[in-house]
Amino acid sequence: MKNRIRECRKAAGMSQAELGNQVGFADNTISNYEKGLREPTLEVRECLASTLHVSPAYLVGWSDEKGQ
């Protein structure tokens, strides 16, 4: 999952701070998710996926289909 968050964030042209601002978290929280130091809750996964315009299943690696 950590690589998918980073991949989608970069594809969207966002910094960690920008993504954090859009979902209501600090950029270091996004960094911790991307490094695999923390795991987002289901609710946070859904919020991240929506913000990054991908499905939650894609974000966590359960699917290779990006679409929502």
**Whole-angstrom Cα distance, residue 68 to residue 20?**
20
* Domains of the chain, start order: 2-60 (1.10.260.40)
> Which positions ≥6 away from 40 have C-beta within 8 Å?
33, 48
What is the pLDDT at residue 60? 87
- pTM (global) more than 0.75: yes
pLDDT digits over 34-68, tens only? Answer: 999 999 999 999 999 999 999 999 998 888 888 76
